[in-house]
Amino acid sequence: MDDQWDAVVSTLQELYKKHEVQSFDDMVNEKRLNFQNLALDQLRSQLDVFSTHSQNVESALGLIRVISSNLGGIIKQWEEEAEKTDERDVVYAESFQGRSFWTSPFNPSEPIVLESEVAYKPKRGGDGEWFQCQVIKISNDGTKFEVRDPEPDELGNPGQIYKCSWKDIILLPAVSAPKYQTPNYPGGTKVLARYPETTTFYPAVVIGHKRDGTCKLRFDGEEEVDKETEVARRLVLPYPARR
């Protein structure tokens, strides 16, 4: 880029020198002459002046085209380097891993990475008001996040984005998580589970489990007495007890 910029400066200097030799403004005085009263040798002299001026103009136009071309190359190179810098920044940001405040032997707690699914509870919410979100940003210390609600709003726009700390989220096991990372809960364990056909998590008690790991639960506050609900194991999280 430095070589291209030097070429631009050099060409500008050359253009300035041509203007010094035959100033473009000098032609204004020529317009005031009455050529009908000039002798033949004077007319020839004026013709030489016009010819020199015309050549300088053509040369200047050529220099301006060179300057424009070189400046275009500099701008393009700068834009490409800026784009590469942005790409490096994105890769670096994606390398951050979030930390888990809530840990349990029944669920993987880390790593929390971009696009990880989590249960999130706004600080203003009460018990049971956790809902599923996706991580979209992670701070470099791994304790602050931005998460997005997967549910669109009433107008169909993308879901709301929330800023939160590591105390406000619980990691959901990945779909591909090996079974040893999600052992069966003992009967009677209090958990936080996603209610079927919603994205909201509510407190529940484990009644049992099926061979594929699906949990049989009894949700708190169910209208139907002793109702059992089956929920996929990865959507049943350890209840976040106070620490």
Q: pLDDT value at position 7?
A: 59
Distance CA 80, CA 74 (A): 10
Tell me what pLDDT residue 69 has.
65
Q: Which residue has the tokens 């998590």?
A: 201
Q: In the block, which residue shows the tokens 């589970």?
A: 193
Residues in contact with 74: Cβ distance below 8 Å, sequence separation at least 6, in sequence order? 1, 4, 5, 8
Which residue positions in the chain have pLDDT lower than 70? 1-38, 43, 53, 59-60, 62-63, 66-67, 69-70, 72-73, 77, 82-95, 124-128, 242-243
Alpha-carbon span 8 to 11, nearest angstrom = 5
In this structure, are residues 164 and 147 in contact, taking their beta carbons and an 8 Å threshold?
yes
Cα–Cα dist 89/112, whole Å:
19
**What sign for the dihedral angle of Cα 117, 121, 127, 131?**
negative
Q: How high is the pLDDT of residue 120? A: 96
Name the nearest CA neighbour of 107 among 168, 166, 183: 183
At residue 222, the pLDDT reads 85
Write down the pLDDT at residue 90.
43
What's this model's pTM, rounded to 2 decimal places? 0.59
